[in-house]
Each structure stands twice: as structure tokens, then as C-alpha cells.
């Protein structure tokens, strides 16, 4: 029978073996440093440079200041919002304000990745987990327990990672989870993020400011009317503002005008109100090919699969769900109905205007 001392020695040996094996892993995960982040001239680096988001900035300023004073890592942060609305920017601003590195990994993060991060990360660093809801909803059947949310919980709360050979220490890091679908995160996961700044929708004036700031960062000027056209065509998404301004810079000679923006919208097939070619195609298909009579009433409706096929997405309903219909629903042009998508009166009028 082994003595307590022998049991402890064996456990230490197993842990040492795991650590030695981990140290041999080739590092493939890269961090973004302050210098790296500054190369993207259109991305804000400080809270002062972030346009709008007053409530989110107030909360995170306080968290960052407390971390500076106490020397403790910032509490774990959950950022929720549609794609392109500033989740990555906020992650990098937090890292820049604290002068730490940020590592970016798409969820679900594997056990091997966590072990590699354990070797390359330092106390205070940020780990940005994109689409973190995928970590919380992944199938348990057929998966290693090491890839389950509970392992990440141990990293978040106890700063350790459990292995088959024992418990290993983990750097005191901050996890920044980003997601477009907070509802898919289970409550135990949500509860482990003390900081949940809300990214509010951008107003038209704020989008104008972002357009003008981006133009200036590229060494260009932009008149107010051109910036307002960008704000009207970006669907409320700063990333789309960035792209439109970059495109306009190709046609401008130091000064972006309304003519430049009109050209950009024309070559990209984007309407003045931001409707992409796929969105326009969906509206026109429903209006001119989706008519059906239900109880004596004409309705313009089709299944998502039919719409996807009709607009050239090869029945890729996910593309419709994620990239085409959300803005149309937000604008009141389309409704989710039994058996598919239904064109509203406003949608009918918009489709006819596009024809």
C-alpha cells in the first residue's frame, strides 16, 4: 500500500510530465500587441476615440481603472451584438488601455488550445473567444470532457485547468466572450461574466462621425453630405461604414464627395438605404414570383429554401438567415410566417420601387 508521501510524489510526477509535454508544443497561437493594433488606422485605440456607446464605455473605463489601481485582471467580459458593431474593437481598446496582449480564438476552444494558451499567455492578458455561444451549446455526446464548458469555468474562476494527470495552474487572464446570439448561452455560462456592457445601436449622427473619422484616418476629407450618404447606406453597422469609406477612397483624389459615394454604391449594387443585391433580390422574388392565394387573400410568401435557391444561394438557408433577412425584418419589409417568409405592405412597396 502506498504512503501519502508516495501518492503525492506520483501525482507531482504526472503533472510534471504533462507540463513537459505541453512545453514541447509548437506555438501557433498569436497575440495582438499594441504596435500590431496601431497598424489598423481605422480602428479606435482608446475609449476617447470610440464614437457613441456611452454606457458601455463608462462601465469599461471603470473596470480598467480599477484593474490599474489594484493590479488585478479585469473581470471577464461578455460583448453581445450583431456582426460589425464593435465587439472586436472594444476588445482591442480594453487591451490597449491596459497595455496587454489580446489573443483571439474562435469557440469552441479545445483542450489542446487551452494548454497551448497556458504556455504563451501571461497574467492580465485578454483571451477573446469569438462566437462563445458555441462553447456553451456543443454536443456532449462523443466529445472529450476536456472540451466542455466546465473546463473553461475552471480557467475563468479558479485559474487552473484540470487534466487527466492533475490540476495545472493557468495564468490570471481576462476572457472576453463575443456573441451574436446571447440566448444560446446557458445561465451558468452567463453568470461567469460579471461585465456585460451593452453595445447600443448607432444613431445616424454617430455613423456620420465614424465615416468622417475613418476618412481622416486614411488621409482623406469627406464632406457632410457624403458622410450622411454613407450613414444611410451602412445599415447601422460601423464595419460597413469602413468598407464604404475605403471604397470611396479609390475614386476620390483627397476629398470624398457624394459622387464618389454614389459610384461606390453603384459598383457594389447597394441601394441608398443599404439594401444589398441579395436583399433586393429577395424582395423582388417574393413580390413577383411568390404570390399565392390563401383564403381569398393574395400573399407574397415563400420558404427560406426556395428563396435561397431563387437568389442563387443553392438552397443555403443559413445565408438567408444570417446575412439577408435580418435587416429586411428590422426594416419591416419581411415577416417570419408559418411556412416561410412573408412580404409586408412596406416590403411590397419597396420591392416595386426597386423594379
Per-residue model confidence as pLDDT tens digits over 233-250: 999 999 999 999 999 999
Structure-block grid coordinates of residue 315: 438552397
Place of cell 464627395: 257
| Local structure of 160: helix, strand or coil | strand
Q: What pLDDT shows up at residue 10? A: 54
CATH fold group of domain 204-268: Helicase, Ruva Protein; domain 3 (1.10.8)
CB-based burial label for 4 (10 Å; 0-12, 13-18, 19+): exposed
For range 124-153, the mean pLDDT: 73
Structure-block grid coordinates of residue 170: 493557468
For range 221-243, the mean pLDDT: 96
- d(CA 307, CA 12) in angstroms, rounded, equals 60
- d(CA 3, CA 11) in angstroms, rounded, equals 13
- pLDDT tens for each residue of 33-76: 655 555 678 889 999 999 999 999 999 999 999 999 999 999 99
- pLDDT tens for each residue of 314-325: 878 888 998 999
- Is residue 302 within a helix (H) or strand (E), and if so which, with residue range? strand 297-302
Q: Residues of CATH 3.40.50.300 domain(s) within the chain?
A: 4-190
Q: What pLDDT shows up at residue 173? A: 97
Beta bridge partners of 255: 221
| Local structure of 168: helix, strand or coil | strand
- Is residue 129 within a helix (H) or strand (E), and if so which, with residue range? strand 126-130
Q: What pLDDT shows up at residue 105? A: 92
Strand residue runs (E) in 134-269: 160-163, 166-169, 174-179, 221-222, 255-256
- Count of beta carbons in the 10 Å neighbourhood of residue 241: 30
Q: What pLDDT shows up at residue 142? A: 42
Q: Residues of CATH 1.10.8.60 domain(s) within the chain?
A: 204-268
Give the CA-trace dihedral at 116, 102, 89, 68, to 10 degrees: 140
Output the CATH code of domain 4-190: 3.40.50.300
- d(CA 39, CA 5) in angstroms, rounded, equals 55
Lowest mean pLDDT among 59-73, 272-286, 287-301: 287-301
Structure-block grid coordinates of residue 192: 461567469
- Helix then strand count (H, E) for the chain reads 17, 13
- Count of beta carbons in the 10 Å neighbourhood of residue 168: 16
Smallest CA-to-CA distance from 232 within 191, 269, 202 is with 202
Structure-block grid coordinates of residue 229: 450618404
pTM above 0.85, yes or no: no
Q: Residues of CATH 1.10.10.10 domain(s) within the chain?
A: 277-354
CATH fold group of domain 277-354: Arc Repressor Mutant, subunit A (1.10.10)
Q: Contact 260/248 with Cβ under 8 angstroms?
A: yes
Q: Contact 277/269 with Cβ under 8 angstroms?
A: yes
- d(CA 270, CA 280) in angstroms, rounded, equals 9
For range 68-94, the mean pLDDT: 92
| Local structure of 195: helix, strand or coil | strand
The answer on pLDDT for 140 being more than 50 is no
Instruction: Give the end-to-end CA distance of the chain in Å, rounded to a whole number.
Output: 85
Q: Contact 260/251 with Cβ under 8 angstroms?
A: yes
- Count of beta carbons in the 10 Å neighbourhood of residue 220: 19
CB within 8 A of 230, min separation 6: which ones? 207, 208, 211, 241, 244, 245, 248, 261
- pLDDT tens for each residue of 19-30: 444 443 334 566
Sign of CA dihedral 229, 234, 238, 240: negative
Amino acid at each position: 500500500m502506498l504512503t501519502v508521501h508516495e501518492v503525492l510524489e506520483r501525482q507531482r510526477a504526472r503533472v510534471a510530465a504533462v507540463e513537459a509535454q505541453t512545453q514541447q508544443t509548437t506555438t501557433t497561437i498569436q497575440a495582438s500587441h499594441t504596435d500590431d493594433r496601431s497598424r489598423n488606422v481605422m480602428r479606435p485605440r482608446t475609449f476617447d476615440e470610440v464614437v457613441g456607446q456611452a454606457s458601455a464605455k463608462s462601465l469599461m473605463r471603470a473596470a480598467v481603472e480599477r484593474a490599474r489601481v489594484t493590479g488585478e485582471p479585469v473581470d471577464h467580459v461578455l460583448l453581445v451584438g450583431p456582426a460589425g458593431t464593435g465587439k472586436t474593437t472594444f476588445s482591442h481598446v480594453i487591451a490597449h488601455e491596459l497595455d496587454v496582449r489580446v489573443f483571439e480564438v474562435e469557440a469552441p476552444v479545445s483542450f489542446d488550445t487551452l494548454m497551448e494558451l497556458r504556455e504563451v499567455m501571461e497574467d492580465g492578458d485578454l483571451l477573446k473567444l469569438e462566437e462563445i455561444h458555441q462553447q456553451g451549446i456543443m454536443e456532449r455526446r462523443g466529445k472529450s470532457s476536456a472540451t466542455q464548458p466546465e473546463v473553461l469555468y475552471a480557467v475563468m474562476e479558479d485559474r487552473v485547468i484540470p487534466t487527466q494527470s492533475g490540476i495545472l495552474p493557468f495564468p490570471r487572464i481576462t476572457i472576453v466572450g463575443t456573441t451574436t446570439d446571447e440566448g444560446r448561452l446557458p445561465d451558468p455560462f452567463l453568470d461567469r461574466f460579471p461585465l456585460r456592457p451593452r453595445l447600443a445601436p448607432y444613431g445616424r449622427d454617430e455613423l456620420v462621425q465614424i465615416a468622417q473619422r475613418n476618412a481622416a484616418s486614411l488621409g482623406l476629407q469627406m464632406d457632410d453630405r457624403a458622410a450622411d450618404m454613407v450613414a444611410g447606406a451602412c445599415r447601422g453597422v460601423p464595419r460597413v461604414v469602413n468598407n464604404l469609406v475605403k471604397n470611396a477612397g479609390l475614386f476620390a483624389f483627397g476629398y470624398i464627395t457624394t459622387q464618389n459615394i454614389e459610384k461606390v454604391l453603384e459598383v457594389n449594387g447597394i441601394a441608398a438605404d443599404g439594401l444589398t443585391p441579395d436583399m433586393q433580390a429577395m424582395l423582388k422574388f417574393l413580390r413577383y414570383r411568390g404570390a399565392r392565394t390563401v383564403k381569398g387573400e393574395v400573399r407574397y410568401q415563400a420558404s427560406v429554401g426556395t428563396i435561397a435557391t431563387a437568389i442563387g444561394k443553392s438552397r443555403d438557408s443559413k445565408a438567408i438567415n444570417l446575412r439577408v433577412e435580418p435587416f429586411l425584418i428590422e426594416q419591416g419589409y419581411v415577416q417570419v410566417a408559418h411556412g416561410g417568409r412573408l412580404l409586408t405592405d412596406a416590403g411590397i412597396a419597396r420591392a416595386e420601387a426597386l423594379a
